[in-house]
A and B are shown apart, each in its own frame.
Chain A
Amino acid sequence: MSKIVASLLLVLFANLCALPAQAGLPEALPADLQWQTNNEDPIFASPDAKRGGRFRTFVTTFPLTLRLVGPDSNGSFASFLRANDLGLVGLHPNTLKPIPELATHWAFGDDGHSIFYRLDPDARWSDGEPVTADDYVFALSFMRSKFILAPWYNNYFSEVITEVVKYDDHTIGIAGSVAKPADEMLFDLSLSPVPEHFHILDENWVRDYNWRIEPNTGPYQISEVRKGKYVEFTRKADWWANNKRYFQYRFNPEHIRVKVIRDINVAYQYFRKGELDNFPLLMPRFWHKKAQGEIYEQGYVAKIKFYNDVPQPINGLFLNEDAPPLDDKRVRYAIAHALNVQKVIDTVLRGDYERMQTANEGYGDYTNTHIRARRFDLAKADQYLTEAGWSERGPDGIRVKDGQRLSIRVTYYSSGHNDRLVILAQEARKAGIELALNLLDGSTAFKQILENKHQAAWMAWSGAGLSPRYWEFYHSDNAHKPQTNNVTNTDNPQMDEKIMAYRTATDKVTRVKLAHELEQMVYEQGSYIPTFKVPYTREAYWRWLKLPAFHGTRTSDQLFSPMGGSGGLFWIDEAAKRQIEDLKDKGQPLPPAPLLEIDETWKLN
């Protein structure tokens, strides 16, 4: 980060005032703003919910820090911390409209990239301090600080969010760098405050704050940390948002204990003994083979399969166009036709997963539903390869051209995917293509991929936001250089043009049209081969956990997530717990037994 910003920080500390407004945000609050809020959408929690009890869940590694940013802060435990770090606005999980969180109202500036928020005067930090505009102004300087050692945040809060201005204690304005559709900008610029009274930013910040518990605005706060064993959250006695429309009846357990269990199979044994309350069963192996036995047959534990409708992770095989022979489009097409994805789904995945058709699915109107992924078709693969000059087969059945074997190195990082890739490799041999499997550990694999030293990467990018992202994955600005998300090194001038048009368009109709065209171009490019999607969540849970009648929301990726935007809907029924434990001792069933629920409310046809 530049020295200018660093010295600005010092100025900030000296004056504790906002950055002087540059071009972007007006100095005084515009008078003609159209303030909006949303108190009309239906609530998505159950009024029957009861407070109390201890919810026990697990993570596989103990967090290396309790900081939200900085080195080692992006582990699996971070989601618990982030879920208690509310933003200005939330997303209604069913209607996908904005709902108030820390802001009660919002209004859009007429320049297309500024937003004004009215803060909720009730909002409090966990130490009782009020949340004020200063905490947002501080958040920006905090995120830009070089002391937090977080280049991504430094960059995001300089490049995407350019300015935060305080108008009074409960009114702020935020400017973004590019104009976007209003609803998207609302979330992109919805930053979380950082408690100014808690942090002392200096070169020791990363070390000094590693295990300190930062005040937060969410329902839970860490109450106990046993290093290497567990972290316990306790619900705030008098949480400021208890009676807010979209927060009532939620976040019901009194305590949440996040236990460290390093092996998922061991974790399942804990669950079987009733020492964990729920268990995710997304993996076919668990759902079909492991989740059986007395606890299910007697009905103490129920299974549920809940279809949701969320942006799908971009899952598949990414071919690096800078790595010959993948620079030849025909070879890329041939590989797509040589991947027998359906066979993998029908066999090792037990028909549980579905074929993904294109990169961006689950984005509503933005999704181009006309594209069909290239199917396993040896004749087509043969035709493309013959055209590309790979017509000869060597003694081992693999195609050769000018003494080169057609061998593609597939870099991947999840040993759980071995059996999928083994089948794909075996089937690809029929087309005369060798897939050499290269399993690395996560960080090494990412390093290799981000440095463009891979040929093909078997990976997934998380799907997120309200509309697909193209610039980071396909724009030539990000091609042929390390540390970008354009791992296919797509470099296509026509695509660049469209991507820029898509980035600057602000009305939805145009953006949807461009997104569909771009998606088609991604298909033509052939460097991304879609594989699987999982449009549901599956869980097993002890039946003292109670869910609302509708089980979950449109965007619930877990039904028993105790915190977060669509989380905290379940509750613990202590009486039922005693009853189940009693029945278990006597060996009597709990009707209806066994219990398997399938909820298709949000299933897309």
Chain B
Amino acid sequence: MSIFSLKNPVAIKRWQRFKRSRRGYYSAWLLLLLTALSLGAELLANNRALLVHYQGQWYFPTYSNVYSGEQFGLDYAYEVNYRDLQQHFADQDEGNWLLMPPIPFGPLETDLIAGDFPPHASSLATQHYLGTDTSGRDVAARLLYGFRIAILFSIALLILNYGVGVAIGCLMGFWGGAFDLIFQRIIEIWSNVPFLYVIMIVASIITPGFWTLLLIMAFFGWTGMTWYMRTATYKEVARDYVMAARALGASGSRIMFRHILPNSVSTLVTFVPFSVASGITSLTVLDFLGFGLPPPTPSWGELLKQGTENLESLWIVGSVVVAMTVILMLVAYVGEAIRDAYDPKQFSYYE
């Protein structure tokens, strides 16, 4: 099965080769599935019901405005607690009912179990399948939402880094000369700025949000890509087809976008999965150190920190370590498969 009809024979060959590495192929699907699931996290882990059937009316609270308790016949004006409401409907037995998501807890919601102090161990009875953290928030819910933030963050970071890095790298290779020399020096200086310290300084002055953090990291992250693009461009510019295009009067931008970039894209593509992995790790590291996203944002790093501080509550550290290992492994397998697909050598002979 092919999801998109490839016309380019080289691309078809690569796609087939990618599929042939089973491990990478299935990892890619699994990763896509997990990402898709996390995009719909509200439907999987939420303290709001998926649907409520009350007095003949249907309600879909997941993405709607807040419904107060009064709207469902309870006596308070703040947001209704759907888990209690479910119980209430069951006690009333008037034909009202509601359906909760598989994990009936939101990522920010503290659920405190009477007679026990958080962190609560995992149990089926309380529906905390992976237990709770030190404030009584559901670990599974926080993992899921934390994954969504991490993956979106690293994809956005990737786009920014590659956008800037590829543009500057290409120009360095295409124009060469003084532009190339000056930018090489700038990049050498830039990549020696200890970016973790910069983040720490910024985080101590302001509380970094998602976009601030993204911009800071992109600010220091674009340099890595330039070297590869610069060499790839240099290599391609010297080729005959570029000369031919020039002779036919093609403009610089046309040569870059129509000829050079498609021919050097293989360099880019092989790096993508590893960049995604490093984006996730960077965010986790920063959250772990407390310089990342502000609380109460669900994040893996923050869970990891709690876990290492409370090693006796193994379910916290266990969940997050397993989740991280699985995701990073999947990404690595995909990366491996892509690398193999783009490798012109089918077999390596060792003599």
In the complex, the answer to whether B295 meets A415 with C-beta atoms within 8 Å is yes
Residues of A within 8 A of B68 (CB): 393, 397
- Chain B residue with the shortest CB-CB distance to A293: B312
In the complex, the answer to whether B108 meets A347 with C-beta atoms within 8 Å is no
B78 interface residue per 8 A CB criterion: yes
Given A265-B309, A347-B112, also A437-B205 (CB < 8 A): no
Q: Mark B306-345, 1 if CB is under 8 A from A, else 0.
A: 0011101100000000000000000000000000000000
Given A290-B312, A440-B204, also A348-B65 (CB < 8 A): no
Residues of A within 8 A of B294 (CB): 437-439
- Which chain A residues in 389-436 approach chain B with CB under 8 Å? 393, 395-397, 415, 418-419, 421-423, 425-426, 429-432
- Which chain B residues in 98-114 approach chain A with CB under 8 Å? 108-110, 112
- Chain A residue with the shortest CB-CB distance to B313: A289
- Chain B residue with the shortest CB-CB distance to A395: B65
In the complex, the answer to whether B117 meets A350 with C-beta atoms within 8 Å is yes
B118 interface residue per 8 A CB criterion: yes
A415 CA to B289 CA in the complex, in Å? 11
In the complex, the answer to whether A439 meets B135 with C-beta atoms within 8 Å is no
A444 CA to B295 CA in the complex, in Å? 17
Given A396-B66, A423-B110, also A440-B207 (CB < 8 A): yes
Given A347-B117, A396-B66, A432-B78, also A439-B137 (CB < 8 A): no
Q: Smallest distance from the beta carbon of B315 to chain A beta carbons, Å? A: 13
In the complex, the answer to whether A285 meets B295 with C-beta atoms within 8 Å is no
A443 CA to B203 CA in the complex, in Å? 12
Residues of A within 8 A of B205 (CB): 444
A397 CA to B81 CA in the complex, in Å? 13
Residues of A within 8 A of B312 (CB): 289-290
Q: Mark A440-452, 1 if CB is under 8 A from B, else 0.
A: 1101100000000
A214 interface residue per 8 A CB criterion: no
Q: Mark B260-303, 1 if CB is under 8 A from A, else 0.
A: 00000000000000000000000000000010001110000000
B29 interface residue per 8 A CB criterion: no
Q: Smallest distance from the beta carbon of B255 to chain A beta carbons, Å? A: 50
Which of A288, A432, A439, A443 touches B295 (beta carbons < 8 Å)?
A: A439
Which of A419, A431, A444 touches B135 (beta carbons < 8 Å)?
A: A419
In the complex, the answer to whether B78 meets A431 with C-beta atoms within 8 Å is yes
State how many residues of chain A have any CB contact under 8 Å with chain B: 35
A289 CA to B313 CA in the complex, in Å? 9
A265 CA to B309 CA in the complex, in Å? 7
Residues of A within 8 A of B313 (CB): 289
Given A418-B296, A439-B295, also A430-B76 (CB < 8 A): yes
In the complex, the answer to whether B118 meets A347 with C-beta atoms within 8 Å is yes
In the complex, the answer to whether A285 meets B78 with C-beta atoms within 8 Å is no
B181 interface residue per 8 A CB criterion: no
Given A290-B312, A423-B135, A440-B204, also A429-B79 (CB < 8 A): yes
A284 CA to B136 CA in the complex, in Å? 15
Residues of A within 8 A of B78 (CB): 378, 397, 429-432
B1 interface residue per 8 A CB criterion: no
A382 interface residue per 8 A CB criterion: yes
B244 interface residue per 8 A CB criterion: no
State how many residues of chain B have any CB contact under 8 Å with chain A: 30
Given A348-B117, A393-B66, A422-B296, also A444-B136 (CB < 8 A): no
B238 interface residue per 8 A CB criterion: no
In the complex, the answer to whether A348 meets B310 with C-beta atoms within 8 Å is no
A433 CA to B32 CA in the complex, in Å? 38
Residues of A within 8 A of B310 (CB): 285, 289
In the complex, the answer to whether B290 meets A415 with C-beta atoms within 8 Å is yes
A290 CA to B311 CA in the complex, in Å? 9
Given A350-B117, A382-B77, A425-B296, also A419-B309 (CB < 8 A): no
- Which chain A residues in 276-293 approach chain B with CB under 8 Å? 284-285, 288-290
Q: Smallest distance from the beta carbon of B128 to chain A beta carbons, Å? A: 15
In the complex, the answer to whether B112 meets A422 with C-beta atoms within 8 Å is no
In the complex, the answer to whether B207 meets A422 with C-beta atoms within 8 Å is no
A350 CA to B65 CA in the complex, in Å? 35
Given A423-B135, A437-B295, also A395-B66 (CB < 8 A): yes
- Which chain A residues in 199-214 approach chain B with CB under 8 Å? none
Residues of A within 8 A of B207 (CB): 438-440
B46 interface residue per 8 A CB criterion: no
Given A288-B117, A415-B290, A439-B295, also A422-B65 (CB < 8 A): no
B134 interface residue per 8 A CB criterion: yes
In the complex, the answer to whether A441 meets B204 with C-beta atoms within 8 Å is yes
In the complex, the answer to whether A444 meets B308 with C-beta atoms within 8 Å is no
In the complex, the answer to whether A419 meets B66 with C-beta atoms within 8 Å is no
Residues of A within 8 A of B290 (CB): 415, 439
Q: Smallest distance from the beta carbon of B157 to chain A beta carbons, Å? A: 23
Which of A395, A421, A444 counts the most B-chain CB atoms under 10 A from its CB?
A: A444
In the complex, the answer to whether A418 meets B135 with C-beta atoms within 8 Å is yes
Which of A415, A418, A443 counts the most B-chain CB atoms under 10 A from its CB?
A: A418
Which of A415, A421, A422 touches B137 (beta carbons < 8 Å)?
A: A422
Residues of A within 8 A of B203 (CB): 441
A441 CA to B78 CA in the complex, in Å? 33
Q: Mark B41-52, 1 if CB is under 8 A from A, else 0.
A: 000000000000
Residues of B within 8 A of A423 (CB): 110, 112, 135-136
- Which chain B residues in 66-119 approach chain A with CB under 8 Å? 66, 68, 76-79, 108-110, 112, 117-118
Residues of A within 8 A of B204 (CB): 440-441, 443-444
Residues of B within 8 A of A430 (CB): 76, 78-79
- Chain A residue with the shortest CB-CB distance to B135: A419
In the complex, the answer to whether B134 meets A419 with C-beta atoms within 8 Å is yes
Residues of A within 8 A of B296 (CB): 418, 422, 425, 437
- Which chain A residues in 235-273 approach chain B with CB under 8 Å? 265
Which of B65, B134, B136 touches A285 (beta carbons < 8 Å)?
A: B134
- Chain B residue with the shortest CB-CB distance to A397: B66
Given A393-B66, A396-B65, A430-B76, also A348-B295 (CB < 8 A): no
A415 CA to B287 CA in the complex, in Å? 12
- Which chain A residues in 328-348 approach chain B with CB under 8 Å? 343, 347-348
A185 CA to B10 CA in the complex, in Å? 90
- Chain B residue with the shortest CB-CB distance to A428: B78
- Which chain B residues in 200-246 approach chain A with CB under 8 Å? 203-205, 207
In the complex, the answer to whether B308 meets A348 with C-beta atoms within 8 Å is no
Residues of B within 8 A of A440 (CB): 204, 207
Given A347-B136, A395-B66, A438-B294, also A422-B117 (CB < 8 A): no
Residues of B within 8 A of A393 (CB): 66, 68, 77
Residues of B within 8 A of A418 (CB): 135, 295-296
- Chain A residue with the shortest CB-CB distance to B302: A418
Q: Smallest distance from the beta carbon of A113 to chain B beta carbons, Å? A: 43
Which of A378, A419, A440 counts the most B-chain CB atoms under 10 A from its CB?
A: A419
A344 CA to B309 CA in the complex, in Å? 20
In the complex, the answer to whether B135 meets A348 with C-beta atoms within 8 Å is yes
A301 CA to B234 CA in the complex, in Å? 70
A438 CA to B206 CA in the complex, in Å? 9
Residues of B within 8 A of A426 (CB): 108-110
In the complex, the answer to whether B66 meets A348 with C-beta atoms within 8 Å is no
A430 CA to B69 CA in the complex, in Å? 10
Q: Smallest distance from the beta carbon of B268 to chain A beta carbons, Å? A: 37
Residues of A within 8 A of B118 (CB): 347-348, 419
A285 CA to B68 CA in the complex, in Å? 35
Query: What are the 6 closest A-B residue pairs judged by CB atoms, nearest first?
Result: A419-B135, A397-B66, A395-B65, A430-B78, A441-B204, A347-B112
4 further interface pairs, Cβ-Cβ under 8 Å (given A423-B112, A439-B295): A393-B66, A397-B79, A426-B110, A431-B78
Listed A/B pairs (11) with beta-carbon separation below 8 Å:
A289-B310, A289-B313, A347-B112, A393-B66, A415-B290, A419-B135, A429-B78, A429-B79, A431-B78, A438-B294, A443-B204
